[in-house]
């Protein structure tokens, strides 16, 4: 009986352990493919560059093939998300050519709260909704905000853990456009996912 109990505890720890394969692949210089997702659209936003996406009220990774993009995981209840959302919204609005598509992923949130948050910060890029944390786990995120940069070939080339600053955003966008990887970096504050 004690051995079974120890085995169950060990399984629980392993099952909840963060997936660090993206960060490990960045550190080794061999960026891995972005994990797939297929999520409901919370706000369609301006989706230039992703023709055909959103037609069924969902957005899947396969619809973004051929387009460099950033994936920003956030939640309206996350205080640090209030720090980096203005920068993301301003950068998206300023780059009318949208050489890098921005995609927000609202995590573990109430839809009405999330929409109010997007309206408050005047977010005009597409946002999808993950009611749980499946996408965060697939990407190895353990909190919000976290931002992943994906090249047109579908490889994660950069990762910022925590609130992003202008220099990190610029470097990540450049990495996504050029398909050149940079290491995962620590950003500002963040909150752990429950």
- CB contact at 8 A, 80 and 189: yes
Query: And the tokens for 182?
Result: 């940079």
| pLDDT at residue 20, rounded to an integer | 76
The CA-atom distances, in angstroms, between 75 and each of 101, 112, 130 are 19, 12, 10
Helix (H, G, I), strand (E, B) or coil at 182: coil
The per-residue pLDDT string of the chain (194 residues; one tens digit each, 9 = 90 and over) reads 454 443 333 334 334 445 678 988 888 888 999 999 999 999 988 865 555 566 788 999 999 999 999 999 999 999 999 999 999 999 999 986 778 999 999 999 999 999 999 999 999 999 999 988 899 999 999 899 999 999 999 999 999 999 999 999 999 999 999 999 998 899 999 998 87
Distance CA 56, CA 72 (A): 22
One CATH from 3.40.980.10, 3.30.930.10, 3.20.20.80, 3.40.30.10 for 19-192:
3.40.30.10
pLDDT in tens, 44-83: 888 655 555 667 889 999 999 999 999 999 999 999 999 9
What is the phi/psi pair of residue 121, to 5°? Answer: -95, 5
Contacts of residue 19, Cβ cutoff 8 Å, sequence gap at least 6? 137, 138, 139, 140
| pLDDT at residue 97, rounded to an integer | 73
Distance CA 18, CA 2 (A): 26
| pLDDT at residue 47, rounded to an integer | 67
The model's pTM is 0.88
């Amino acid at each position: 009986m004690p051995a079974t109990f120890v085995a169950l505890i060990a399984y629980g720890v392993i099952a909840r352990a963060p997936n660090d394969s993206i960060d490990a692949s960045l550190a080794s210089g061999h960026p891995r493919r972005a994990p797939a997702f297929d999520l409901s659209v919370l706000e369609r936003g301006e989706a230039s560059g992703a023709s055909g996406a959103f037609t069924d009220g969902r957005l899947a990774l396969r619809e973004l093939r051929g387009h460099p993009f950033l994936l920003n995981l956030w939640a309206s209840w996350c205080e640090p998300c209030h720090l980096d959302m203005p920068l993301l919204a301003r950068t998206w609005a300023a780059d009318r050519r949208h050489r890098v598509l921005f995609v927000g992923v609202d995590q573990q949130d109430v839809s009405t709260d999330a929409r109010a948050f997007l309206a408050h910060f005047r977010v005009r890029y597409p946002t999808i909704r993950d009611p749980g944390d499946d996408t965060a786990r697939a990407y190895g995120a353990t909190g919000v905000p976290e931002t992943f940069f994906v090249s047109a070939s579908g490889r994660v080339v950069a990762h910022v853990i925590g609130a992003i600053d202008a220099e990190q955003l610029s470097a990540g966008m450049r990495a996504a456009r050029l398909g050149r990887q940079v290491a995962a970096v620590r950003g500002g504050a963040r909150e752990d996912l429950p």
